[in-house]
Chain A
C-alpha cells in the first residue's frame, strides 16, 4: 500500500511532453505569459497525470484512463465548420448569441458578433498573442490551484472566448458558447475568460459535443460586486472531457451554475470557487445521467474566504449499466468567514447492480459561527413508489422513467431561467427515452 511510486512516464505523458515541446514556439503569448506556460508545464511534467494516489483524483485515475494523448488539433477545415453549424442543439430552443468553436478554435463566421453596448467579445488566441490587458490581469490568477489538469491547460492553452461585460450592463440575450469537434479526433486545450463587472447581469451557456476528441477546457470567471451570473454547461462528449471552472465572486453578488452530463463517456468537471466578498450567494447544481461504461466525476472546492455568504450545492446522478459516478465536494470555511451558510447534497440513484457511486462530501471549517450541512445518499428506486404507479396501470419502464424524472426534477426546477430549465429537462427526457 505504501510502496514508492516510480516516476516513469506513461505513453500519454510522453505524448503530452512531446506536444508541448513541439508547440512551445508557436503557442500564443510572450513574456510573462510564456513564462507562466513554462512554469505550469514544469509543474505538470514533474507530477505527471493525476492518479488514484492523488486525493483529489482518487476515483478518476487519469493515468490509467488516458492510454494515449491525441495530437493537438489542427485549425478547423471547411468540413468541420459546416458540421458545427448544427452543433449545440441542446440549448437551441433558447434565443442566444451563439459563439462557435471548432476543435477549440474560434470561428468568427459562424458566430453572432453583432454589437451590444457594454459587451466585448474576442478570441483568446488573439488576446494572448497581442498581450491583451484584461487577459494579462486575470488569466492564471482567478483561482490559484496546484491541480494538474489546470496546469496542463495553462501550459497548452490555445483558443477560447474572452468576454467582458462592463459595469451595470444587463445583457439582452444569453451567450451560448458552442464547442464542436471536427472530423479528426484530436486533443484541444481551451481557455476562456469571462469578466462580469460590478452590477452587471449575464447568462452564459456552454455546450460540448465531440466524438473521440480529448478536451481539456478551463473557464476563468470573475463576478464583480452586486453582479448576477447564471452559467450552464451541457456535456455530451464521447471522448475524454476535463473541464475546470475557476471562479471568484465579489461582494453581494449572485451566481448559479448548472451542469448537465448526459451520454458523456468520460468527464471530469471540476469547480474551484472562492467567495471573496461579503454577502454573496451562490448555487452549484447538476444532473448526471450515465449508462454503459460512462464515467462522470464532479469535483468541487468551494472556499468561503469572506463572511455572510451562502452557498448551495445539489447534485443528482442516475446510474445505469456499468457506469461510475463520482462526487467530491469540499467546502472550506476560512477563519473569520463568520455567518457562512452552506448546504451540500448529493444523491445517487443506482439502476443497476453493476453501477458504482462514490460520494465524498467534505467539510473544512475554521470559523465557529457558521452553519454547514452536507448530506449524501445512494440507493435504488423506491419499490413502494414504483408499485404504486404500476398498480395504476403504468408499465414498468414508464414508472421508472416517471420516478427518475421526479428525482432529477427537484434539481432542474431550481433553474430560474425558463428556457434553460426546459432545454435541460428536454435533454434529460430524451436520455430517458433512449433508455427504453
Chain B
C-alpha cells in the first residue's frame, strides 16, 4: 500500500530544497596547495606541528592509497572524483595560540550560533534545563562541544570540567601532542590504515576531529559532541574521531554536520574508531545533515565514511544511532566487532532520501566472542528520485558460540520514481548462533504488540509505537540543538512499508 499523507508531508518538510544550513560564512582562510601528493601530507603534518611518527604514519597510508582502487560495489552512481582538484586542508586564519573563546573569529561564532550550536559555556544552559526535586539544575543535560570548521577544531567547551572527572576531550591534533601514548596505542587499531580506499585517504590527510578517553570506572559527566561544518569551497573534510572507553566507563557522544549549498560536489571522508574495554559502554549518535544537492542532483556532499566500533572487552557495549537526511551520496556502514565475550552491538538508523540523493548505508555485526548479541533496526524512506539501500552484514565466526542477532529493516517508498533496496548478508559458521532477519513489521515483539492491541490500538499504531519507542529512547537523549530534524522523523508512520 502507498505511504500515508502524514508521512508524505513530513518527508516533504525536509526535502532538498528546504535545506536551512546552506549559508556561507565569509572568513579568511589558509589552504594547502590544491591537489594531493606527499607534499600535501607533509604540509598538513607541518601545519599541525606533528611529531615525526605521525608524519610517517600518514605517509605510509598515502603510499598505500596510491595502490588502491575506489570501491564500486555500492549502489551509488557519481561522476569520477578528481582527487587532484580539491583542497585537503583549509583553516580559518587565526592568532597563533587561542587562550579563550573570545579570540575565536566572531564570524565563526556567529556561524555556530546560526546553526544553533552555542559555544559559550554560559549559553549551554540556556537550552532546556532540567531540575531535580529540590529545584537544582541537573548537570548531565549540558553538552560539551568540539566545533570543527573545515579542517580544524575551532573551539572545545567544558574542557576543564571534564578534566576534573578525568575525561580527555580535545581536538585530535592536540591529543597527538599531549597524549601521544594513547593516540599511538589506539589510532588505527580499529580501522587500520589499509582498511579501505576512503579510510586510507583519510589516514593520509586527516586534519582534525575529536579525541575522547574515558578512564576506568568513570561515567562521563556530560554528553560529548562534535559539530562538523564544511565552509570553504572546493575543500574536502577529513576528520578522524577516536573514542576510548576504558574498563567500566560510559560515554555518550553526538555528532552533527552541515555544509553550505554549492553547485560542486564536496568530499567528506571521515573515520570514526571506538574502543570499548571490559564492561564499558559507548553510545554514538549522529544527525547527518550535509548539503544534499538541489532537486536536480547538482552539488551536495559525498559522504564516504568509515565508522567502526571494537567491543574489545568482555560485556562491553557499543550502540550506533543515526538519523540520515543529508548528503548527495552516503556510503557509510557503522559496524561493531564483538570481540569480547558477552559484548553487545546495536544499530538504529533512520535514513531519509529526497531529491536525487543516493544512500547506501547499513551496518556490520561481526560476532567473534562467545555469547555476543546484536540488534539492527533500520528504517529507510525514499522520496523524489532518490535511491535508498540498506546493506548489512551479520557474521558469526566458528568460536562465537551462542551469538544472537535480530535484524529488522523496513523501507518505505513515496512516489514511483524512487527506489528502496535491501541487501543483507547473513553468515553463520556456528550452529549455536541464532540469526533472525525479518522485514515484516509484525515481528518486532509479539508480546509488546499484543499488549498494545489489548489496549485498543490498531496493529499499525502498535507497531509504530514499539519501533518509535526505542528510537525515541535514543533520540530523546540528543541535545535540543541536534534533535530538530530527529524529532520530526520519529512520528513518521510505518504504514505502507515494504520489506
B-contacting residues of A (Cβ < 8 Å)? 1-4, 55, 335-336, 338, 348, 350-380
Known: A363-B421, A371-B498. A353 touches B426 (CB 8 A): no
Smallest CB gap from A353: residue in B: B431
Q: Does B414 have its Cβ within 8 Å of any Cβ on chain A?
A: yes
CA distance A355 to B398 in the complex (A): 9
Set of chain A residues within 8 Å of B499, measured between Cβ atoms? 363, 371-374
* A365→B424 contact, CB < 8 A: no
* A356→B428 contact, CB < 8 A: yes
Known: A350-B428, A376-B426. A365 touches B498 (CB 8 A): yes
* B71→A352 contact, CB < 8 A: no
A-B pairs, 4 with minimum CB distance:
A350-B431, A378-B428, A368-B413, A373-B499
Query: Nearest Cβ in chain B — how far from A332, in angstroms?
Result: 9
CA distance A354 to B426 in the complex (A): 16
The segment out of B113-121, B219-227, B286-294, B433-441 that lies at the interface is B433-441
Q: Does B419 have its Cβ within 8 Å of any Cβ on chain A?
A: yes
* B431→A352 contact, CB < 8 A: yes
Q: Within residues 301 to 323 of chain B, which ones have a CB less than 8 A from any CB in chain A? A: none
Which has the most chain A C-beta neighbours within 10 Å: B69, B73, B433, B437?
A: B437
Query: Nearest Cβ in chain B — how far from A68, in angstroms?
Result: 28
6 contacts between A and B (CB under 8 A): A2-B71, A353-B431, A355-B429, A363-B420, A373-B440, A375-B436
CA distance A430 to B337 in the complex (A): 42
Query: Nearest Cβ in chain B — how far from A290, in angstroms?
Result: 13
Set of chain B residues within 8 Å of A354, measured between Cβ atoms? 398
Which has the most chain B C-beta neighbours within 10 Å: A348, A350, A376?
A: A376
Task: Give me 13 other A-B pairs in contact (C-beta within 8 A), A356-B429, A375-B437, A376-B437 excluded.
Answer: A2-B69, A350-B430, A353-B432, A360-B425, A361-B422, A366-B419, A367-B416, A368-B496, A371-B1, A374-B437, A375-B440, A379-B431, A379-B433
Query: Nearest Cβ in chain A — how far from B352, in angstroms?
Result: 15
Set B67, B71, B411, B435: member contacting A379, Cβ < 8 A: B435
CA distance A354 to B196 in the complex (A): 30
CA distance A369 to B73 in the complex (A): 28
* A351→B419 contact, CB < 8 A: no
Which has the most chain A C-beta neighbours within 10 Å: B1, B73, B430, B443?
A: B430
Interface residues in B, total, Cβ within 8 A:
48
* B431→A376 contact, CB < 8 A: no
* A362→B498 contact, CB < 8 A: no
Q: Does B33 have its Cβ within 8 Å of any Cβ on chain A?
A: no
Known: A2-B68, A379-B435, A380-B431. A374 touches B422 (CB 8 A): yes
CA distance A361 to B401 in the complex (A): 24
Q: Within residues 192 to 242 of chain B, which ones have a CB less than 8 A from any CB in chain A? A: 194-197
Q: Within residues 394 to 425 of chain B, which ones have a CB less than 8 A from any CB in chain A? A: 398, 401, 411, 413-425
Known: A1-B196, A358-B426, A360-B423. A377 touches B432 (CB 8 A): no
CA distance A338 to B421 in the complex (A): 16
Set of chain A residues within 8 Å of B398, measured between Cβ atoms? 353-354
Q: Does B2 have its Cβ within 8 Å of any Cβ on chain A?
A: yes
* A374→B439 contact, CB < 8 A: yes
Which has the most chain A C-beta neighbours within 10 Å: B73, B401, B419?
A: B419
Set of chain B residues within 8 Å of A3, measured between Cβ atoms? 67-69
* B416→A377 contact, CB < 8 A: no
Query: Nearest Cβ in chain A — how far from B395, in angstroms?
Result: 9
Smallest CB gap from B200: residue in A: A2
CA distance A3 to B67 in the complex (A): 7
* B413→A376 contact, CB < 8 A: no
* A362→B1 contact, CB < 8 A: no
Set of chain B residues within 8 Å of A373, measured between Cβ atoms? 439-440, 498-499
Smallest CB gap from B419: residue in A: A366
